[in-house]
Amino acid sequence: MEAGRDESGRAVALTTLVARLRESGRDLDARELADALWLAARTGAPASTAPVHAQSLPPEPQDPAPAPVTRAVEPPAATASTPGAPAALLTAPDPDGVPAAMETSPVLVPAAPALADPHALQRALRPLRGYRSPALPPGRSLDEEATAGRAADTGLVVPVLRAVRRQKPRLLLLMDVSTSTVAWESALEELAGVCASAGVFQDVQLRYLHPYGDDAAGYAAGRVPAGPLREAAGLGDPTGRRIVLLLSDCSGPLWRSGVLQRLLYKWSATTPVAVVQPLPQRLWRRTHLPAYGGVLRRHEGPLGRLEFGAAPPGSDPRNGRPVPVLALRRTAVEGWSRLVSGATGRSVPTAAAWVRRDQPPSGAPVRAAAALTGRERVGAFRRTASPAAQRLAEYLTAVPLVLPVMRLVQHTMLAGTGPEALAEVRED
């Protein structure tokens, strides 16, 4: 009898709750009501005061001689561990936009990685060990120390020449500075570490591209320039020893104006160039550098001219050059690495975008927030999002939508998914 009264009471309470929600204009379906009840049962509980200790993790194996990464020397950002620095409030905001007041306890949590499988990306870069630039290395070079020693012993200055071994390629890793690329800062830093420890490159340089004048781009060693910008056109390498990777979502003003497309056209004439696109592939054609799937083939000749079988409608491929567009996955990076370092005549299925010497401003409209209701936005997201993105969105309903927290939830609940899933949630 007691159990029957409990069931009856819960049914009455649930009916009353549904009626009040409908009176307030919130007509929830069964799934939304179940989500609300699940969240209500788990919110409002007092935070645990037990101390949380960080686990000691064994260090990951490092390459015995990683390539140096050149970047800006900037003062460290203020964190909670810095004396006198205010702790960041990762709490849900109230309706007025001010962080909600609640009892909290500081805990130590691991920083969630932005790259799903960095070791797989390292393996994907290994074919570049066989890359050979079109420029011939000098046969011999002057050994200054040996020449000075011989002069001291004999009194005669006779140059001592040594055979020169072909050096590893250099890597230039770029990112354009815009409001949208802030979210990819961690991915850029991790990618630089992956490239430096892969044992493939002589050195890895990290640079940021900024608007420079009315119709050009400049570069600096940091996202916030510490001094005058230098013109980015000078980053090209006529010897072909430098490989250029540009990590970008291709949505910023430098892409919209056509500046970066023209730079890619210029650089690709003398050195391997590729764009690393962190957005999910279904969004690539909505950017200012629309990419198309096809087969990329390397021709005979210096640097191995690239030929791409697909082109956007209404375009003339004879006026442009294809630039590979890579996802942050092993298959995409490895295929490109083999294409760049392999024999001429090799072809791989991949995505590429066309760039021109006289690239006009992008005709893609600037996306504006559509006037949709919450229900309509959720419905549109469910119709187009990948299963991983849909699951991530469900998990994120229970946490503050702050980027570090979102990454931690993704890493914990959906381990193995890359930045594309989080990008789908953020974009939609």
Dump pLDDT digits (tens) for 154-179.
888 888 887 666 678 899 999 999 98
Could you tell me how many residues make up the chain?
A: 428
Highest mean pLDDT among 58-72, 97-111, 239-253: 239-253
How many Å is the Cα radius of gyration of the chain?
A: 27
pLDDT digits (tens, 9 = 90+) for 28-50: 777 777 777 776 766 655 444 44
The pLDDT score that the predictor gives to residue 3 is 53
Q: Is the pLDDT of residue 367 over 90?
A: no
User: 120 pLDDT exceeds 90?
Assistant: yes
Angle at the Cα of 256 (from 255 to 258), degrees rounded to 5?
65
At 101, list the tokens. Answer: 């007041």
More confident residue, 191 or 104: 191
Q: Which two tokens stand for residue 361?
A: 């401003």
Q: Is the pLDDT of residue 329 over 60?
A: yes
If one counts every other C-beta atom within 10 angstroms of the C-beta of residue 131, the result is: 18
Q: What is the pLDDT of residues 395-412, one digit of tens each?
A: 998 888 888 888 888 888
- The mean predicted confidence, pLDDT, of the chain is 78
* Dist CA 72 CA 339 (whole Å): 32
78 has a pLDDT exceeding 50: no
Report how far residue 290's alpha carbon sits from residue 292's, in angstroms, rounded to the nearest whole number: 7
419 with 184: CB under 8 angstroms?
A: yes
Q: Between 283 and 56, name the one with better pLDDT.
A: 283
- Of 353, 259, 347, 367, which is closest to residue 315 (Cα–Cα)? 353
- Is pLDDT at 211 greater than 70 in this prediction? yes
pLDDT higher than threshold 60 for residue 421: yes
pLDDT of residue 87: 45
Select from 130, 136, 195 the least CA-distant residue to 168. 130
What is the token pair recorded at 115? 């790259």
User: What pLDDT was estimated at residue 136?
Assistant: 58
Half-sphere exposure of 249 (CA within 13 A, CB side): 24
- Is-contact 292 281, C-beta < 8 A? no
- Written as six digits, the tokens of 308 are 């791409």
More confident of the two residues 282 and 103: 282
For the full predicted model, state whether its pTM sits above 0.95.
no
| 175-179, 285-289, 318-322, 330-334, range with the lowest pLDDT | 318-322
Q: What is the pLDDT of residue 309?
A: 75
State the pLDDT at residue 85: 40
Contact 265, 232 (CB under 8 A): no
The pLDDT score that the predictor gives to residue 166 is 65
Tell me how far apart the terminal alpha carbons of the chain are, to the nearest angstrom. Answer: 50
